[in-house]
Amino acid sequence: MYVGGVNMKLKVIDLFCGCGGFTYGFDYLDDTFEVIFALDKWKVACESYSVNYPNVEIVCKDALRLKPEDIPDADVIIGSPPCQDFSIANLKRKEDPTLINWFWKVVEEKKPRYIIMEEVPRAKYYVPSGVKIRIYKMCDYGIPQIRRRLFAGEFPEPTKSPINVTFPAVMATEYKGVGSKRQMTRLSKIFRRKSLIPEAKLVQTFPIDYYLAGNLKEQYIQIGNAVPPLMSYRLAEAIKRDLEGNSNILSAFVE
Ligand SMILES: C[S@@+](CC[C@H](N)C(=O)[O-])C[C@H]1O[C@@H](n2cnc3c(N)ncnc32)[C@H](O)[C@@H]1O
């Protein structure tokens, strides 16, 4: 993005990056954003991430072992602290907001201009008070899923692009290991089998050739964990539009 002949990019960091679904849209809009840092403790996900985003510094460590100075300053902080503990699909639910709290501590420290935390809707009780919360239905944004996701932070509204989901395109991984017989029956009625990796990628809007490290089980987990790349793109695009309409804000990013 050029302002007054100066090329400025917003520095982005992705905390709990997984295989990189949330990074996707920011990396795609590389005239506006530069993803400079990503963090995840899972080696397999880090390997996927580093193949898909070879220019991003990735730290493969437990977040709780990082010091604030290990994380660079950024204009945009995105991240999806692990949500298994909050999912209503998880029958052995044990609510531990430690990593969500850690995310907001980093935000408080770094004071980025834009913040987007992605979570399951139930995690709304763990978002600091006063922070904007939105729950978006994925099919309203062009993603073939009826699933709802929570986004919290400081970000402009993404543009809607609703599609009709004519069958409940539910990720097999969402139901894997879940004890509910009703859910498993519903799943097998839809697919009559477990979805294949390329099908799971399509439902999550990953490009078919998106690299995933690990064995099949690990690949399903990475896809299932991810923010759909198309949703990431819509959010990044909204920030880009926000900047374009706000040239006074842009001057703050001139280096
Ligand atoms: C919901 S997934 C993130 C998905 C990612 N945003 C994407 O779009 O692909 C959460 C990630 O947090 C990672 N994680 C869990 N506990 C962690 C910790 N203590 N430190 C760092 N990463 C952790 C998991 O390995 C997992 O990849």
CA neighbours within 13 Å on the CB side: how many for 114?
Answer: 27
* Model confidence pLDDT, tens digit, residues 99-110: 999 999 999 999
**Residue 6, pLDDT above cutoff 70:** no
**Residue 204, pLDDT above cutoff 80:** yes
Of 17, 26, 40, 222, which is best to mutate to test ligand 1, by the most ligand atoms within 8 angstroms of its C-beta? 40
pLDDT, greater one: 191 or 149: 149
What average pLDDT does this structure show over 104-122? Answer: 96
**Residue 12, pLDDT above cutoff 90:** yes
**Residue 183, pLDDT above cutoff 70:** no
- The answer to whether residues 240 and 246 touch, using CB atoms and an 8 Å cutoff, is no
Q: Find out whether the beta carbon of 80 lies less than 6 Å from any atom of ligand 1.
A: yes
Which residue, among 111, 100, 128, has the nearest Cα to 15 in the 3D structure? 100
In whole angstroms, give the CA distance from residue 81 to residue 26. 18
DSSP string of 129-153, one letter each residue? TTSEEEEEEGGGGT-S---EEEEEE
| Spacing, Cα 69 to ligand 1 middle (Å) | 20
pLDDT of residue 170: 52
What average pLDDT does this structure show over 187-196? Answer: 65
- Number of alpha helices (DSSP H) and beta strands (DSSP E) in the chain: 9, 9
Q: Find out whether the beta carbon of 44 lies less than 6 Å from any atom of ligand 1.
A: no
Contacts 24+ apart (CB under 8 A), 174-177: 174/89, 174/147, 174/224, 175/89, 176/220, 176/224
* Model confidence pLDDT, tens digit, residues 22-71: 999 999 999 999 999 999 999 999 999 999 999 999 999 999 999 888 99
| Spacing, Cα 156 to ligand 1 middle (Å) | 24
Give 58's strand partners: 38
* Model confidence pLDDT, tens digit, residues 64-101: 999 888 999 999 999 999 976 665 665 666 678 999 99
pLDDT of residue 87: 59
Percentage of the chain lying above the pLDDT 70 cut: 78
Lowest-pLDDT range, 17-26, 130-139, 169-178? 169-178
Domain residue spans of the chain: 9-250
Of 15, 16, 122, 174, which is best to mutate to test ligand 1, by the most ligand atoms within 8 angstroms of its C-beta? 16
CATH tag, 9-250 = 3.40.50.150
Q: What atom of ligand 1 comes closest to residue 23's alpha carbon?
A: 8
* Cα-only R_g, the chain: 18
**Residue 203, pLDDT above cutoff 70:** yes
In whole angstroms, give the CA distance from residue 14 to residue 26. 10
**Residue 21, pLDDT above cutoff 60:** yes
* Model confidence pLDDT, tens digit, residues 146-165: 889 999 999 999 999 999 88
